[in-house]
Chain A
Amino acid sequence: MTLSGSKVIESPADLEDLREKLRKQLKPSAKSVRVCIGTGCAAKGARRLYELFLQAAGESGNGVEIEAKCVGCHGFCERGPIVVVQPGNIFYQGVEEQDVGEIFRETVIGGRIVERLLYEDYITGEKARTADEIDFYKAQMRIVLAENGSIDPTSIEDYLVSGGYSALARVLRTMDPEQIIAEVDRSGLRGRGGGGFPTARKWRSCRGAEGSPKYVICNGDEGDPGAFMDRSIMEGNPHAVLEGMIIGAYAIGASQGYIYVRNEYPLAVDHLSRAISRIRDLGLLGEKILDSSFSFDIRINRGGGAFVCGESTALMASLEGRVGEPRAKYVHTVESGLNSKPSNLNNVETWANIPAIINRGGEWFSSIGTQSSKGTKVFSLVGNVENTGLVEVPMGITLREIIYKIGGGIKDGKSFKAVQTGGPSGGCIPAAHLDVRVDFDELTKLGSMMGSGGMIVMDQDTCMVNIARYFLSFLKDESCGKCTPCREGISQMLHILDRITHGEGETGDLEKLESLAELLTETALCALGKTAANPILSTIRYFRAEFEEHIRDRHCPAKVCRGLFLYEIDPELCTGCGICKKNCPAEAISGERRKPHVIDQTKCTKCGICLEKCTFNSILKV
């Protein structure tokens, strides 16, 4: 189904005509194979699958039209490549090249299921035919990700058929800027990038600011490690973001928009570029959109590779061709931002929520979620869980529900230790608080924050001191270096943590860390510096004993920090094969052939090579 020619859509009526035309072209009983080509599935060869399905569909001479389509990220990346067959919404996972023929023959043509490619519940063994039958998807409420997995993100036709740009038409035809902002206000939408600032309030301030031109900016610099929500939205449904931006620009009075996408997301840049080209050709972007007096255009800028550019003033500096250094926000960016002009910056997910809010109403949106946090939030649930991937859930759901019901609990039968939320600006939450209702404010009370939505689950074998050290090391690399406290303070904190994780901790170290943490929060110039201490503060708060064991006993209870635990050979399991002895660089292992070997602790350098080489699992960490 394609648009023939590129007739410009000159009015809302034209848009509806086109939509009707496209819908008529749809065949409800049409068979289609939807192959996910999001980065996760593409990494496992999904593009080749798509090609093969396309070929098969083309060669099929049944007289029935079969469509092979590529779709965006379903969010269940670990189970990729994912292929969904219509009719029936049959959900296949882990599809490989050799499965294509079978799927085509059996399911597409024959209407039969290929059992072994279905998702199998790891406890009950039950197989799920459709996504709705899988626990991972059952408890989700997909608004932002609704179309991911059913529309082809490189075409606008799918988006139009499912109602795309009707919100824009409605806004331009029947609403004025104040009414639009009022609707967003009614929805209670708060920024999804981490700040949680009320979106309507931001729009209103920017609208009221003096100066022109005004800018709207989309922050696609998703830098939190472990978070890939924005990637999936930009890759899987770029038009939702664009529609949101155009509506926002109209409400604010902006004439130019920018989407800043991090350099590490080439597919997102590609899909967004195509989408922009398309709507420009069709007249949904440019001069006098849909027969209104509103003119607006969007440009994409790729980041240069700097986490700090996720901070709004640093992002704007980057858009000005400068280094990504933040500046003071005593005068807000809505008054003086990009090129010192009023600029409204919002996160990808925030923009993507706008069309739904306009279409279904602010009141509908605010009926979902909690008192202070309305709507849904997309989280990336990763780490030591059974089901890792993107989940979209209503605010107020508990951590326990997310991790256990949706995530399927901890992998490999291990136990839960902590969940890291909010990336390098957030903190760890221990088991005692699993029943916290997830929203902006509740997580902050616990010493963490929701942040952009990263949720990294950690099991009993994680060393929390090591985690704190990891985040500090990350922030040290990413600090722009402009202000003293962040630049020097993070270095000093990392220095202390390096000592602790190497068995050189001293009494007073924890107090020093806490005092540095406070200094950073009080004096750093931007949010990166101000929140840099959160990971360390929250891990000390909930896992102080673990720190103390590192410092006082020079021992790592999780047996992660090299040198802070011992390697021992279990005499019951050791077969005396001698591989460890042969590979030990310190010649610390002795033993006769076929007799249990022994490690001489006085010689052992704790390098861990013996454990790597042993094939009998007889080397223990103690």
Chain B
Amino acid sequence: MTGSPRRVLLEWLHRRPGIGTGVLAAPAGLWLVAFFLVPLLVMAAYSWMPRGIYGGVEAGITAEHYRRFFEPLYLRILGRTLLWAVGATAICLALGYPVAYAIARSGRWRRWLLFLVILPFWTSFLVRTFALIFLLRDTGLLNGWLLRLGLAAEPVPLLYTPFAVMVGLVHGYLPLMVLPIYASLEKLDPALLEAAEVLGARPWARFRRVVLPLSRPGVIAGCLLVFVPSLGAYLTPDLLGGAKQVMVGNLVQSQFATARNWPFGAAVSFVLMALVLVAVLVFLRARDRAGAEG
């Protein structure tokens, strides 16, 4: 006898540290299995099953839904989605990098400026998107100014255009670009810039040869954080793009809700997931390459 059962149990656990880790991770793990993995598997199964007459599915196996996605109509939606996601990422990078750079160099104002960048997250994305409608619609703020200043004779259509969708995407995801770039610039040792300067590097050369390469991990992370949600955007094109500017996210929604074609909606979802996976792998490889180069 080595002691009470409690003591025996504790000693047994102590000799197997893996079990302690398991106990800590179990609640969240079970949650994810029950409410993420299981529904996903159901979706996967649906995407390979024939469509039922009143929604739902019938028994059997078919690749029909995946084949259907490659029809020109849907490929156009996919192409538009990719283009806009790339565009939103590029615009966020062009706007976000200077902001991150300015904040990293702003000294004691840093905290406040970062606070301002994060501030929009305190309001619901939906509310902010509706606010954009007030700004962009024909009787909205922008058109009001254009008319009053005599820059336009009649309201310029802004809402329900690709422009409106892009405004929505960039406004929603810009902070996700700024923050990781700021984090990498903030770590930059000022002595490196001084060393470059003594070695004869003018401001632009210092930026190109030292600042930019060393902030590359932040740029890659920022692009990933903007590109992936842009690819799956649903709310923004729905509210700001109207019926004409459909993205893959809207296609999924319409298949599940209005068309009641669940297996096709599931297949589109999986194509989108595959695209996201590819994007993540590309970005991760770019990051590793940046790491290997130093």
Q: Do A and B come from one complex?
A: no
List chain A positions with a Cβ less than 8 A from chain B.
none
List chain B positions with a Cβ less than 8 A from chain A.
none
